[in-house]
Structure 1
Amino acid sequence: MGVLEGKIDLHVHAGPDVRDRKLTAVQLVRKAAQAGMRALLLKNHHTSTVLAAAAIQEQLQDINVFGGLALNESVGGLNPAAVEAALRMGAAEIWFPTLSAENQRRAHGHPGSGIRVSEDDGRLKPEVHEIIRLVAEADAILGTGHLSPQEILKVVAEAHRAGVRRILVTHPEITFIRLPVEVQQELAQLGVLFERCYVRPPLFSADWDELARIIRQVGVKSTVLATDLGQPENPDPITGYKEMLEQLHRRGFNWEELEIMTRLNPAQLLGLD
């Protein structure tokens, strides 16, 4: 049995895309299937990946392939109609804004632009409530995208109130989010899961040692390992996933704990188990 047998990656990037990618989606899924992986969730910052996932799934049946929708400007931002269409077509995850989020734009030196989830008075926008309702009805995964810590707290609180069962905080260690560990611990008590990604300095604020410490502090049972790979300059997602497991195993995580973070938790999010 290979090290990736039965594993799931909920955050991979592949072509075609607006920017160059290491592999096409077909190449990536084939490579994952050859490694014995159980499932991939394709992510694109600019368009839905639901159609691509469905088309690839029809041709490659040794692995489960899922798609989703990131609510960036290219799909109308906080667009309930786009969310409803994606969910009806089988989207596994809806991500709140990523590249178009005001939080990321501010971090990259463009304050005053980008998408916010709140009105000026701090209340969530009506369309955010509608998007959360749609995700709850579809029993899909709600991903927090590149929102600020304050926005994440508001969205998660409303999602929890609205009955969303599958909440995944998108890479809380990335430099423009840096969700405090004590906040993660509080959210974990609500059943929220946290996506820990392949360490890529300087984009991610935690190195492997720090990532291991955070997982211990917040909890293995609240963690999902994913790569967020696919960039030409980085390892491909399959190679990167193997390295993640090796790095964390060296830092004291046994194989049972790694199984929870790479098989059990992501399978439950996808409704496979």
Structure 2
Amino acid sequence: MGKVSMKGVIDMHVHTNPDLRIRAYDDLELCDAAVRVGARAIVIKSHLGSTVNRAYLTNRYNERVNGKNDFTMFGAIVLNSCVGGVNPVAVENALKLGAKVVWLPTSSARNHLQKLGKPTDGCVDVVRDGRIVPELEKVLELVKQYDAVLGTGHISVEEIFTVTKAAREMGVKKVVVTHPEWWIVNMSMEDQKRIVREYDVILERCYAQNKGVGAGHGYISNLPSNLETIKEIGYKNVLISTDGGQVENPHWELAEEEYLQYMLDHGIPEEHVRYMSHDLPCYLLGLEA
């Protein structure tokens, strides 16, 4: 198999500076890298809340510095405690300003804190007594209204099923299970198959993950397990994202290229790789494929 092309690629999950954790690129550096390789779009994510304003300024920078090109940066919002948790007002403002993804709690999720052995006082709950919290109903209505993407964040597998069921019943079209392979989420292959079968969701499979509590520093590749998932479940329900930006991992464009090349080299047809990295994210972002 020949060398993969990055032309038109879309990544819906990349972390950048400014952040409380040092990232490899800031927004402008990531933009420049994306333009260099001919990428179509990136969604920047921050556990600190909304990236919509940053995406707007990055696009203005791109116009002025890089000239005419096909790249667009998109913003999103993460419903951690720093934005008031499951806060419909924050979500509505972000969506009005162009946010494309609403992620449920990540670092503030009860499941995240429990897995790290941290106190759960002040955590952001999305489910209580087996039902989604009332505030989440309002958020889901907004996600539906703006045809945005609902990302499940770092909530538990049981909560993912509860939220997904409610979202589908309310008419939310675009539901993406955030890195189900990551040890914090830890969704089994059987549960990934089941949630796709029952709710036709998208599984966001990412480039790498940290080794977990007590395992020391560093990251391990998700690519072998991502390949297995594509073969087991089918490419139509898999989204290729890097979740990139960590200084421990290759820079974004290198990680993305390695990911795509790995899939091609291991027997995934080029048109399937394109679907997972071009066509599917185009649909999720409301772009023409």
Band of TM-score, shorter chain: over 0.9
The farther-off stretch of 248-257 and 43-52 is: 248-257
- The aligned residue for residue 192 of structure 1 is 201
* Unaligned ranges ≥5, structure 2: 64-68, 213-218
The farther-off stretch of 203-212 and 7-16 is: 203-212
The farther-off stretch of 178-187 and 76-85 is: 178-187
- The aligned residue for residue 6 of structure 2 is 4
Aligned-CA RMSD value: 1.7
Offset of 1:54 from its aligned partner?
A: 1.0
Distance 2:107 2:264 in 1: 32
Offset of 1:2 from its aligned partner?
A: 6.7
- The aligned residue for residue 169 of structure 1 is 177
Pairing 1:271–2:280 present: no
Offset of 1:185 from its aligned partner?
A: 2.1
CA distance change for structure 1 residues 256 and 2 in 2, over 3 Å: closer, same or farther?
A: closer
* One-letter identity of the residue aligned with 1:208: L
Contact 1:209 1:251 in 2 (8 A): no
Distance 1:76 1:161 in 2: 25
Map 1:1-273 to 2 at 5 A.
3-61=5-63, 62=69, 63-113=71-121, 114-119=123-128, 121-189=129-197, 190-202=199-211, 207-273=222-288
* Cα deviation digits, residues 108-164 of structure 1 (max 9, x gap): 002533222122x22211001111111111110000000100010011111111111
Contact 1:145 1:170 in 2 (8 A): yes
Contact 1:178 1:205 in 2 (8 A): no
Offset of 1:206 from its aligned partner?
A: 7.1
Contact 1:173 1:206 in 2 (8 A): no
Distance 1:118 1:47 in 2: 20
Offset of 1:215 from its aligned partner?
A: 1.7
* Unaligned ranges ≥5, structure 1: none
Contact 1:11 1:228 in 2 (8 A): yes
Q: Give the alignment's TM-score, normalised by structure 1.
A: 0.95
User: Matched residue pairs, number?
Assistant: 272
* One-letter identity of the residue aligned with 2:105: P
* One-letter identity of the residue aligned with 2:146: A
Offset of 1:93 from its aligned partner?
A: 0.4
Q: Give the alignment's TM-score, normalised by structure 2.
A: 0.90
| Percent of pairs with identical residues | 36
CA distance change for structure 1 residues 206 and 237 in 2, over 3 Å: closer, same or farther?
A: closer
Distance 1:89 1:45 in 2: 18
* Cα deviation digits, residues 47-106 of structure 1 (max 9, x gap): 210001111112324201100000001111111111111111110000000011110100
Runs of 4+ aligned structure 1 residues displaced above 6 Å come to none
Offset of 1:17 from its aligned partner?
A: 1.1
